[in-house]
């Protein structure tokens, strides 16, 4: 916050404790409650925008939806000076070949999106490139407020470090590769479904009569902004 950051996004992944424990076996993320309380700590640290979400496919989607809504409502009541966004990403083909245990159809996804828009009219809804172009185009008029575009899921995908500084990590520690090839590069954490560029998404929004916004914040509007 002191360096100028004004938003924090942290997803619980799953709100089902048994599922969470089975999927997070080591590292700092293993602690369910520490993860759950992260948005609250961020608020206490001065973040003015906070994003939460669940990764759908790890547990029955209705159970995750109710827990996500309860978490959001609690934050709005107790950390009321912040604004919030919510995301409902669905499992995609991922590194390691993980197969989701629970389905979450397009129709159910749209139902959930509409439910959150009706229940939380002031909350931003984030739509990621995990979803297909056809679905993203279709749900845009239903209350989506933020869209990603041109996404990379591989480590260092935006900076080139995923190729220039290639290594592996074991239990939080950097381990150099024994052998390297000029063709080696980091692989994506999961596959994206919408590969359109940010400018293509901008053009789509304009065709739909929506107003693309690239920047909606500035340090000058904050109470702690330095005097001119």
What is the Cα–Cα distance from 140 to 146, expressed in whole angstroms? 9
Burial of 145: CB neighbours in 10 Å, binned 0-12, 13-18, 19+: middle
Give per-residue pLDDT as tens, 70-86: 999 999 999 999 999 99
pLDDT of residue 176: 78
Q: What is the pLDDT of residue 165?
A: 65
Note the Cα 20 to chain centre separation in Å.
Answer: 17
- pLDDT above 70 (res 226): no
Q: Give the pLDDT score at 215.
A: 83
Check residue 190 and give its pLDDT. 60
Confidence of residue 151 (pLDDT cuts 50, 70, 90): confident
* 7-153+190-220 classified as CATH 3.20.20.70: yes
At residue 80, what are phi and psi to the nearest 5 degrees? -80, -10
Largest CA distance in the chain: 55
Average pLDDT, the chain: 85
Residues 88-141 have pLDDT tens digits of: 999 876 666 777 889 899 999 999 999 999 999 999 999 998 899 999 999 999
Angstrom distance (rounded) from CA 52 to CA 72: 8
Q: According to the model, what pLDDT value does residue 222 have?
A: 63
Whether 189 shows a pLDDT value over 60: the answer reads yes
pLDDT at 211 over 60: yes
The 3-state DSSP class for residue 182 equals coil
Q: Which residues have CB under 8 Å from 201's CB, separation 6+? A: 147, 149, 212
Q: What mean pLDDT do residues 155-180 have?
A: 66
Q: What is the pLDDT of residue 127?
A: 93
Q: Give dist(CA 144, CA 125) in Å, integer.
A: 5
Residues 201-215 have a mean pLDDT of 92
Which residues are within 8 A (CB) of 182 and not within 5 positions of it... i.e. 6 or more apart? none
Higher pLDDT, 224 or 177: 177
pLDDT at 111: 97
Average pLDDT in the 217-226 region?
Answer: 65
Residue spans of the domains in the chain: they are 7-153+190-220, 154-187
pTM of the complete model: 0.82
Three-state secondary structure of 187-217:
CCCECCCCCCCHHHHHHHHHHCCCCCCCCCC
């Amino acid at each position: 916050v002191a360096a100028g950051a004004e938003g924090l996004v942290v997803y619980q992944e799953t709100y089902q404790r048994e599922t969470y424990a089975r999927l997070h076996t080591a590292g700092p993320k293993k602690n369910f409650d520490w993860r759950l309380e992260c948005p609250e700590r961020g608020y206490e640290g001065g973040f003015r925008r906070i994003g939460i979400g669940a990764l759908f496919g790890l547990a029955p989607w209705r159970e995750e939806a109710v827990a996500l809504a309860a978490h959001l409502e609690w934050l709005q009541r107790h950390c009321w000076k912040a604004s919030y966004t919510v995301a409902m990403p669905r499992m995609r083909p991922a590194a390691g070949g993980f197969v989701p245990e629970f389905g979450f159809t397009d129709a159910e996804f749209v139902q959930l999106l509409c439910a959150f828009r009706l229940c939380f009219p002031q909350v931003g809804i984030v739509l990621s490139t995990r979803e297909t172009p056809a679905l993203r185009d279709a749900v845009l008029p239903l209350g989506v407020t933020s869209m990603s575009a041109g996404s990379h899921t591989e480590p260092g995908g935006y900076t080139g470090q995923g190729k220039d500084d290639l290594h592996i990590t074991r239990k939080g520690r950097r381990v150099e590769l024994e052998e390297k090839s000029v063709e080696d590069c980091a692989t994506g954490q999961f596959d994206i479904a919408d590969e359109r560029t940010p400018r293509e998404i901008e053009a789509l929004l304009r065709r739909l009569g929506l107003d693309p916004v690239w920047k909606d914040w500035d340090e000058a509007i904050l109470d702690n902004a330095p005097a001119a």
